[in-house]
Amino acid sequence: MRQEVTCLKETVQQLLTSHSTLITRVDLAEERNRCTKLKLRGIPDSINITELPHYLCRLTNMLLPHSQAKKILFDGFFRIKKPRQAPTTASQDVIIRCQSLTDKNRIIAAGRGKTPMTFESSQISYQNLTCNTLLWRRSMGPVTHQLHQAGIDYRWTIPRALTVNKEGTILRLSSLDKAERFLQALGIPPKSRQPATSLASPSWDPSSSGVEKRKGH
């Protein structure tokens, strides 16, 4: 009987690992598909599809210097249906497809720290990550909190990893069960760390703007 239970536990663990790997691969494929796409939330529904090009042009002119804004080119744009849980007053999100990844990154960088931003009386924000990726980043909150306290810069990488450059060496964290070793490698002493049970605290609520580099906020 004990042997059967042990075998079942091992099978369940293998299934959980396979499921996690599959979800990660799906998210990676989705992030790559989003490579030059950017989702904007808050653009009023009153801005119809024929007016969107002019609206987006005005938005990029607000975000970027004129010399850069005039070079931004869009291959396409469209609205998507609202999620069921969205408020009835919420507008449909707009997906824009930039002509290049450089253009997309310029728009994201220009809005960094400003989202949601006020533009023509509307609150506009970027929604650039999958739901699973956002949930994963939230679960890493206690780790990033300690990095903030230690004054250590970090970056998010796609699909699910947190990286720190320590004296030219890139340290990478992809799961909470390796958090203690990760923090130790960064020289954060155990006495300043939160208890291990808090590493998965669901109460931490970070910004979901997709900003890649954080320090102290």
> pLDDT tens, position by position, for the chain (217 residues)?
777 878 888 888 888 878 777 776 666 666 555 578 888 888 999 998 889 889 988 888 888 887 777 777 788 888 888 877 778 888 888 988 888 888 888 887 787 766 688 889 888 887 766 677 778 888 888 899 999 989 999 988 766 789 999 888 899 998 888 899 999 999 987 754 454 433 333 332 323 333 333 443 3
Q: 101's torsion region: left (phi>0), alpha (psi -120 to 50) or beta?
A: alpha
The CATH number for 33-126, chosen from 3.20.130.10, 3.30.70.330, 3.40.50.300, 3.30.365.10, is 3.30.70.330
Six-digit token string for 36: 């030059």
* CA-closest candidate to residue 40, choices 69, 89, 78, 74: 78
Check if the beta carbon of residue 59 is closer than 8 Å to that of residue 133: no
The CATH number for 131-214, chosen from 1.50.10.10, 1.10.238.10, 2.60.120.560, 3.30.250.20, is 3.30.250.20
Domains of the chain, by residue range, sit at 33-126, 131-214
pTM attached to this predicted model: 0.50
Please give the order of strands across the beta sheet that includes 169-173. 169-173, 161-166, 154-157, 213-214
Check if the beta carbon of residue 206 is closer than 8 Å to that of residue 134: no
Q: Within 10 Å of residue 173's Cβ, how many Cβ atoms?
A: 22
pLDDT for the residue numbered 132: 73
pLDDT for the residue numbered 86: 77
Helix axes 131-139, 141-149, angle to 10 degrees: 50
CA gap 181, 64 in Å, rounded: 41
pLDDT for the residue numbered 16: 81
